């Protein structure tokens, strides 16, 4: 097996600059993608796809820092701007033009809130980027791969969907799997939040009758019906919330949560 | 000009004058808000207004109320042409002055009568939904105190009475014409079916025709003057509110430029901070970070409050509200209006001081100095329950931005009072120290890339 695999050395912007090169895209990993054990697997899957199709990319590595999104949504505009202005200095120093990220919160913040502070980039969420790779034929999943016919429901991230009107890209990516895609009743513009947005991820919920992720998980489980199924997400926070929800319902044996990049990487046989 | 015309002129002038006086109060209230430049892209704004306000686009997310509402809305628009005729007839003592339009007038009166009948049906169904089936979003919620519930019923009853008055006027007019052997301009499918309802006594019919006419016209003037006190004010405010609504993606939250200058000056001592804005007396304007009270919100956020028709679509899709938290986006908007009228001017009928403590749902009790929008009306617990998911903004048929108000109130809690929940303060500290919301070492940020393999291509 070993001889069929090659070790990836993920290039940083500093490496690129030292070699006098400029990448096609900067992959903005985000805090969850860097530190959260579950989401690191998504980061790795996405890099495997980039390596596989031969996109010239780089990451910031240890020079990356929080975009400031959780601070801003929690009302700490000062801390947000501190983070944003420092990040923009780094990005501009490397002359970054195009950014791809697997986190809708990073995506929204850099795309919509950095321009006012001097950061102007073309920002693409990985769902849109994967959709482009599929449309261009650079990712072609032969016969749908291992998820063919599998029941999958996509949970819309608020910061991808309502916040930025991206509903179709992740669904088109999933369509490449030739799976049995089922929609929850509350989907697209009417999608129900996982409960993590607006910095809720970092605090206990206010008292209520139920947690939001349980409400959403119940809907997803009902949509998937009996038997095995997959809840597909495109956001690190949604992934955590849905995972917790499925565990709470004792369904982790039957229902798996995957990011769309993981599904593509697996279907392409890149993760073996 | 007869006595009746003079009385009419006086009544109309009084009604319109009172309305203008009330509108000025409301515009004064809205102008309590901060300045905000929202004049860009007029063509995009007009399109949005045509689609969302005029075209009722977002109403159709829920088909049944959308269709019923459409009847009342089109009825309101079209019947207003007959109201114009009534005004002219009233002033000059003419009778069906627009009758000269001939076939067009026939069509107009025909459509009018059909719509008037549909308005009665729709309003009756609305009353049913509110009072009998008690559709949860219309009946439940702490913000649905006695006044909002009564207000909705008053409006529906007035609309039904107005339509009946119009029919009474038409029926009596038709019967009189028949008895007198004269032609009546127009075509009246509903009234002609009830021609004999009021008998054949000319004097009685004449009285009914006049009473119907007067009830309709006085009813409309009263209705107009009731609007500023009512949720029904949306029939006017929906248009400017959609025109000035946010054109950028919903995920883009406002940035405070004052903070940008402060940070840039901190990072670079050579950075020149622009001179602060001066007020009329030449003192620098001290701006609060975030919002504590209504005057800290922008005029658009205050306009939102006057546009709200309390339909509760926002609250019914709010993830926090669905799962039993205190937050209700509709309450945020209604509280903003109530506080504005408590602090500023209040319209002729509705005075929040009189209705605030009704129906056993008193507001939170706070000390005198805390009687501001924040805490006096909206509690931090409500604000912290928001996931900023924008479901409320998406659901609102008149493009109210509930999230922007919630965010401004949150900003005040954090920036001016350092009153964030402890776990959020810990998150802030992590970002400051580690560049991540969790307590991980920044030097570990790139560890995910270790031992990563891909299949080699042969």
ipTM: 0.96
pLDDT tens per residue across span A134-160: 999 999 888 777 899 999 999 999 999
Within 13 Å, how many C-alpha atoms sit on residue A62's CB side?
A: 7
| Distance, CA of A210 to CA of B324 (rounded, Å) | 7
Q: Do A198 and B389 touch (CB under 8 A)?
A: yes
- C-alpha closest to that of A139 among A174, A182, A100: A174
B358 touches B145 (CB < 8 A)? yes
| Residues on chain B touching A206 (C-beta within 8 angstroms) | 320, 325-327, 381, 384-385
> For residue B147, how far is the Cα from the chain centroid?
16
Which residues on chain B are in Cβ contact (under 8 Å) with A3? 456
Q: Which residue in chain B is spatially nearest to A159 when comparing CA positions?
A: B251
Cα angle, residue A62 at apex, residues A59 and A63 outer, rounded to 5° = 75
| Cβ contact A208–B324 (<8 Å) | yes
Confidence of residue B186 (pLDDT cuts 50, 70, 90): confident
Q: Please list every residue in chain B whose beta carbon sits closer than 8 Å to the beta carbon of residue A116.
A: 255, 260
CA distance A120 to chain B (A): 14
Residue of B nearest to A86 (CA): B267
Residue A252 Cα, gap to closest chain B Cα (Å):
23
C-beta of residue A157 within 8 angstroms of C-beta of residue A234: yes
Q: Chain B: give the shortest CA distance to residue A255, in Å.
A: 23
Domain extents for chain A?
2-129, 141-267
CB nearest B455 (choices: A35, A70, A269): A269
pLDDT band at B41, cuts 50/70/90?
very high
> Which segments of A63-211 does DSSP mark as H helices, in order?
69-73, 77-93, 104-108, 126-135, 168-175
Q: Chain A residues with CB inside 8 Å of B436's CB?
A: 31, 34-35, 65-66
- Average of pLDDT values for B336-354? 83
pLDDT of residue A1: 47
- Yes or no, beta carbons of B442 and A65 under 8 Å apart: yes
Cβ neighbours for A156, distance < 8 A, ≥ 6 positions apart:
A162, A167, A187, A188, A191
Q: Which of B317, B378, B381, B387 to mutate to test the interface with A (most CBs of A within 10 A)?
A: B387
| Residues B234-247, mean pLDDT to the nearest whole number | 97
Q: How far is CA B49 from CA B57, B141, B232, B282, B370, in A?
A: 10, 30, 18, 39, 38
Q: How many CB atoms lie within 10 A of CB B116?
A: 24
Mean pLDDT within B403-415:
97
Shortest distance between the Cα of A262 and any Cα of chain B, in A, equals 13
Q: Which of B249, B250, B266 is nearest to B258 (CA)?
A: B266
| A62/B448 Cβ within 8 A | no
Tokens found for residue A237: 């926070």
pLDDT of residue A15: 96
Span B11-27, pLDDT tens digits: 999 999 999 999 999 99
Closest in A70, A164, A195 to B319, CB measured: A195
Cβ contact (<8 Å) for A206 and B394?
A: no
Q: Which pLDDT value is given to residue B360? A: 42
The reply to whether A141-267 shares the fold of A2-129 is yes
Distance separating the N- and C-terminal Cα atoms of chain A: 10
Using the predicted structure, report yes or no on whether residue A202 has a pLDDT greater than 60.
Answer: yes
Shortest distance between the Cα of B250 and any Cα of chain A, in A, equals 4
Query: How far away is chain A from the Cα of B391, in angstroms, using its nearest Cα?
Result: 7
Q: Degrees (nearest 5) of the Cα angle B386, B428, A74?
A: 15
A101 forms bridges with which residues in the sheet?
A28, A125
Alpha-carbon gap, residue B316 to B327, rounded angstroms = 11
| pLDDT, position A2 | 53
Q: Which of A112, A202, A211 sits opposite B248 (nearest CB)?
A: A112
Give the closest-approach CA distance of A254 to chain B in angstroms: 25
φ/ψ of A2, rounded to 5, equals -50, -40
- Whether residues B252 and A65 touch (CB distance < 8 A) is answered with no
| Tens digits of residue pLDDT in A240-269 | 999 999 999 999 999 999 999 999 999 999
Average pLDDT over residues B253-267: 90
Tell me if A56 sits within 8 A of A23, measured CB to CB: yes
Contact A208 B323 (CB under 8 A): yes
Contact (Cβ atoms closer than 8 angstroms) between residue B356 and residue B338: yes
Interface size between A and B, measured as CB pairs under 8 A: 245
Question: pLDDT averaged over chain B?
Answer: 91
Contact A66 B255 (CB under 8 A): no
The pLDDT value recorded for residue B336 is 96
Looking at domain A141-267, does it have CATH number 2.60.40? no
| Closest A-chain CA to B262 | A78
**How many Cα atoms sit within 13 Å of B102 on the Cβ side?**
1
In this predicted structure, what is the pLDDT of residue B364?
62
Which chain B positions have a beta carbon within 8 Å of A83's beta carbon? 431, 435
- Across the interface, whether the CB atoms of B451 and A70 are under 8 A apart is answered no
Q: How far apart are CA A240 and CA A245, in angstroms?
A: 9
Would you say residue B93 has pLDDT above 90? no
Report how far residue A247's alpha carbon sits from residue B93's, in angstroms, rounded to the nearest whole number. 78
CATH number given to A2-129: 3.40.50.1860
Chain B residue whose CA is closest to A116:
B255
Name the residue among A33, A40, A202 with its Cβ closest to that of B427.
Answer: A202
pLDDT at residue B362 in the model: 54
Contacts of A29 in chain B (CB under 8 A): 445, 448
Residue of chain A with shortest Cα separation from B323: A210
DSSP string of B17-69, one letter each residue: HHHHHHHHHHHHHHTTSBP----S-HHHHHHHIIIIIIS-GGGGGSHHHHHHH
Which residues, including other chains, have CB under 8 Å from residue B371's CB and lie 6 or more apart?
none
Q: Do B455 and A52 touch (CB under 8 A)?
A: yes
Q: Chain B partners of A35 at a C-beta cutoff of 8 Å?
A: 436, 438, 440, 444-445
pLDDT for position B125: 98
| B323–A34 CB contact, under 8 Å | no
């Amino acid at each position: 097996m070993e001889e069929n695999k090659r070790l990836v050395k993920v290039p940083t912007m500093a490496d690129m600059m030292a070699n006098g090169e400029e990448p096609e895209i900067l992959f903005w990993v985000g805090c969850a993608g860097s530190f959260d054990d579950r989401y690191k697997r998504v980061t790795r899957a996405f890099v495997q796809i980039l390596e596989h199709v031969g996109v010239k990319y780089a990451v910031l590595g240890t020079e990356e820092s929080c975009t400031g999104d959780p601070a801003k949504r929690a009302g700490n505009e000062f801390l947000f701007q501190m983070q944003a202005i420092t990040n923009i200095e780094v990005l501009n120093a490397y002359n970054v033009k195009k950014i791809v990220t697997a986190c809708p919160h990073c995506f929204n913040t850099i795309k919509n809130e950095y321009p006012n502070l001097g950061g102007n980039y073309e920002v693409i969420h990985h769902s849109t980027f994967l959709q482009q790779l599929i449309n261009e034929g650079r990712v072609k999943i032969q016969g749908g791969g291992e998820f063919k016919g599998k029941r999958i429901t996509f949970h819309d991230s608020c910061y991808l969907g309502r916040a930025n009107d991206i509903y179709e890209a992740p669904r088109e990516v999933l369509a490449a799997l030739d799976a049995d895609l089922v929609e929850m009743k509350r989907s697209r513009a009417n999608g129900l939040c996982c409960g993590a947005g607006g910095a809720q991820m970092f605090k206990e919920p206010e008292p209520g009758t139920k947690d939001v992720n349980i409400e959403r998980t119940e809907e997803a489980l009902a949509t998937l019906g009996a038997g095995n199924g997959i809840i597909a997400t495109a956001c690190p926070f949604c992934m955590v919330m849905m995972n917790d929800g499925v565990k709470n319902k004792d369904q982790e044996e039957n229902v798996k949560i995957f990011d769309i990049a993981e599904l593509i990487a697996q279907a392409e046989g890149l993760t073996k | 000009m007869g006595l009746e015309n003079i009385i009419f002129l006086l009544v109309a002038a009084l009604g319109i004058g009172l309305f203008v006086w009330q509108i000025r109060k409301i515009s004064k209230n809205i102008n309590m808000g901060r300045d905000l430049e929202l004049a860009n892209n007029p063509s995009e704004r007009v399109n949005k207004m045509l689609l969302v306000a005029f075209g009722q686009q977002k109403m159709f997310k829920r088909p049944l109320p959308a269709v019923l509402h459409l009847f009342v809305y089109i009825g309101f628009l079209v019947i207003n042409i007959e109201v114009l005729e009534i005004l002219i007839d009233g002033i000059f003592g003419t009778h069906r002055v627009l009758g000269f339009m001939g076939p067009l007038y026939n069509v107009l009166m025909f459509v009018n009568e059909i719509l008037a009948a549909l308005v009665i049906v729709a309003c009756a169904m609305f009353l049913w939904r509110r009072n009998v089936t008690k559709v949860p979003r219309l009946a439940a919620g702490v913000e649905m105190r006695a006044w909002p519930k009564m207000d909705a019923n008053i409006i529906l009853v007035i609309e039904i009475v107005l339509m009946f008055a119009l029919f009474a006027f038409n029926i009596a007019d038709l019967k009189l014409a028949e008895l007198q052997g004269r032609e009546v301009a127009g075509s009246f499918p509903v009234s002609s079916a009830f021609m004999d309802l009021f008998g054949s006594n000319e004097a009685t019919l004449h009285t009914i025709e006049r009473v119907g006419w007067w009830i309709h016209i006085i009813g409309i003037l009263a209705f107009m003057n009731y609007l500023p006190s009512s949720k029904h004010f949306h029939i006017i405010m929906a248009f400017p509110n959609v025109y000035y609504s946010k054109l950028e993606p919903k995920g883009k939250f406002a940035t405070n430029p004052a903070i940008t200058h402060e940070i840039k000056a901190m990072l670079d001592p050579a950075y020149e901070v622009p001179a602060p804005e001066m007020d009329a007396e030449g003192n620098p304007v001290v701006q609060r970070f975030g919002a504590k009270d209504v005057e800290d919100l922008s005029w658009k956020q205050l306009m939102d409050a006057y546009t709200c028709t309390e339909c509760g679509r926002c609250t019914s899709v709010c993830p926090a509200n669905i799962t039993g938290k205190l937050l209700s986006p509709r309450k945020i908007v209604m509280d903003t209006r109530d506080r504005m009228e408590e602090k500023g001017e209040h319209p002729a009928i509705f005075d929040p001081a009189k209705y605030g403590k009704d129906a056993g749902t008193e507001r939170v009790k706070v000390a005198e100095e805390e009687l501001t929008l924040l805490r006096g009306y909206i509690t931090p617990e409500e604000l912290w329950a928001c996931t900023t998911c924008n479901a409320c903004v998406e659901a609102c048929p008149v493009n109210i931005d509930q999230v922007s108000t919630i965010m401004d109130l949150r900003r005040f809690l954090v920036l001016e009072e350092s009153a964030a929940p402890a776990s959020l303060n810990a998150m802030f500290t992590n970002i400051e120290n580690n560049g991540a919301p969790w307590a991980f070492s920044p030097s570990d940020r790139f560890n995910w890339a270790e031992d990563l393999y891909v299949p080699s291509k042969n």
